[in-house]
Amino acid sequence: MNPRANSCWVRPLRGRIDVRCPFCDYEETKVLDSRPVEEGTVIRRRRECQRCSRRFTTYERVEMTPLMVIKRDGRREPFNRNKILQGLIRAAQKRPIPMEALEQIAFEVEREFRDRGEQEVTSLAIGEAVMERLRKLDEVAYVRFASVYRRFADADSVIEAIEELRARKRREEELRTQVLLPLGDDHNKA
């Protein structure tokens, strides 16, 4: 297998940009489909290698100002959306969750922190933002993600997280079923 498999790279060639095939390393590929994704901030291109005929997808993004993540131990590293996505994929394993939904969560979390205009964000804040969105999507995946993120030590910690989830769900349901009463003096005019 090619050592560069699953990692396409772009190289200027004869005045244009060519993408090498991640399977056979051939320099010429054909674009089959291009479409904007992630609210128009990314171009997704479906490509086919002109030599081996295998298909693969590339994404073109605008390079942004680096967003640094402050880890629990104080180290700093550049924000990496793929780390979020990999964690989501592990949490959603064998769950009926489309990949697009997980990609959307990763996109929304990155966008939330970039829109704030801050140059640094804690890994704890990122984890909480991911969990908030995942909780609404799938409870099992939420508990799986939380167990790693919050470093559950034992079964009691998992049970506590499930009880928190149930309590929050009950509160949200109660709020949805509440009847709104009119405010002000409108009810005295009758």
Terminal CA-CA length for the chain: 81
Give, for all 190 residues of the chain, the pLDDT tens digit: 343 344 444 444 444 567 899 999 998 999 999 999 888 888 999 999 999 999 999 988 877 778 999 999 999 999 999 999 999 999 999 999 999 999 999 999 999 999 998 899 999 999 999 999 999 999 999 989 988 887 777 888 888 888 888 898 888 888 888 877 777 665 555 4
Q: Note down the domain range covering 160.
A: 68-167
Q: Are residues 117 and 74 in the same domain?
A: yes
Q: Are residues 20 and 80 in the same domain?
A: no
- What total of structural domains would you count in the chain? 2
**H-state helical runs in the chain:** 81-91, 99-115, 123-137, 139-149, 155-177
Cβ–Cβ under 8 Å, residues 114 and 63: no
Cβ–Cβ under 8 Å, residues 56 and 21: yes
Q: What is the rounded distance in angstroms from the CA atom of residue 151 to the CA atom of residue 48?
A: 43
